[in-house]
Amino acid sequence: MPNERLRAAILQQGLTVASFAEDLGVDPKTVERWITKGRTPYRRHRFAVASRLKTDETYLWPDALSDDEVASFSSSEIVTVYPHRSAVPRDAWGRLFSDAENDIGILVYSGMFLAEDSEAQRALADRARAGVRVRLLFGDPESPQVAERGADEGIGEAMAAKVRNVLVLYKRLMAIDGVEARVHRTVLYNSIYFADDQVFVNTHVYGVPAYDAPIWHLRRIPGGEIVGTYMESFERVWEGARPLPTKG
């Protein structure tokens, strides 16, 4: 059975079979067999392919790894766990975004702390001007989901007010080419902040403000599935969110 995922991933990177084979140091006919006949490459080649195509090995070859291998690789994606968001070093946010080369995403209800972090804001602006895609997802202040989160945290209507304030604070950033912003009406179980293959996941705990909830620092590695799960979640929310004007 042809491996259409592999074919699509190669095309998405702007590669041909020949150029991709050259990058890997293999014969183009070998790559053709991986695609047209659905052959599974040796492990060293799977790792190289996933790295070159910036995707997960398990996405390209779902049956190539055992459950134990997937679990082992996934646990290796966990860089560190902070007991509270307030325990994350302040400069970590700026460093997260300043290292991005391709894609940055932020999924929050308000994320007020980040709007007030001048270093992080400079990093986001610098990366956008350098051609990095920056996507911002905020809670719709008129939505019942934002109202419910405010009630859960015990701050009521202040949550919607925080979102409105954040939208004002981000106006300058949203005026930069390459920055896209949307509002969502989603029940968030986590806030997600990513820059390429690195992700900060701020868990949401009932009755606990976000700054007091744990944060996972994750880094994607071939064969792991945790980062991919959160990235897919971000994309689903993005697709269903309402675009905001980002110029003027």
Say how far apart CA 182 and CA 108 lie, in whole Å.
11
CA neighbours within 13 Å on the CB side: how many for 230?
Answer: 30
- Show Cβ contacts of residue 245 under 8 Å, excluding neighbours closer than 6 positions: none
pLDDT tens string, the chain, 248 residues long: the values are 889 889 998 998 899 999 999 999 999 999 999 999 888 888 888 888 888 887 777 778 877 666 666 555 556 788 899 999 989 988 889 889 998 999 999 999 999 999 988 889 999 999 999 999 999 999 999 999 999 988 888 888 989 999 999 999 999 999 999 899 999 999 989 999 999 989 999 998 888 888 899 999 998 876 677 888 899 999 999 999 999 986 65
Q: Which amino acid is at 161?
A: A
> In order of start, what are the domains of the chain with their CATH numbers?
4-64 (1.10.260.40), 75-243 (3.30.870.10)
Q: Report in angstroms the alpha-carbon separations of 62 from 53, 56, 58, 78, 169.
A: 16, 9, 4, 21, 43
- Residue 43's pLDDT is 80
Q: Torsion angle, CA of 114/181/109/144, rounded to 10 degrees?
A: 160
Say how far apart CA 218 and CA 95 lie, in whole Å.
14
Work out the angle between the directed axes of helices 4-12 and 28-36 (0-180°, nearest 10): 130
Say how far apart CA 137 and CA 157 lie, in whole Å.
20
Which residues share a beta bridge with 183? 138, 242
Pairing assessment for the beta strands 198-203 and 215-219 based on DSSP bridges = antiparallel
Say how far apart CA 199 and CA 229 lie, in whole Å.
11
pTM above 0.85? Answer: no
Largest CA distance in the chain: 62
Say how far apart CA 127 and CA 120 lie, in whole Å.
11
- Residue 137's pLDDT is 97
With contact defined as beta carbons under 8 Å apart, do 60 and 8 qualify?
A: no
With contact defined as beta carbons under 8 Å apart, do 50 and 56 qualify?
A: yes
> Using alpha carbons only, what angle is made at residue 197 by residues 118 and 101, rounded to the nearest 5 degrees?
60
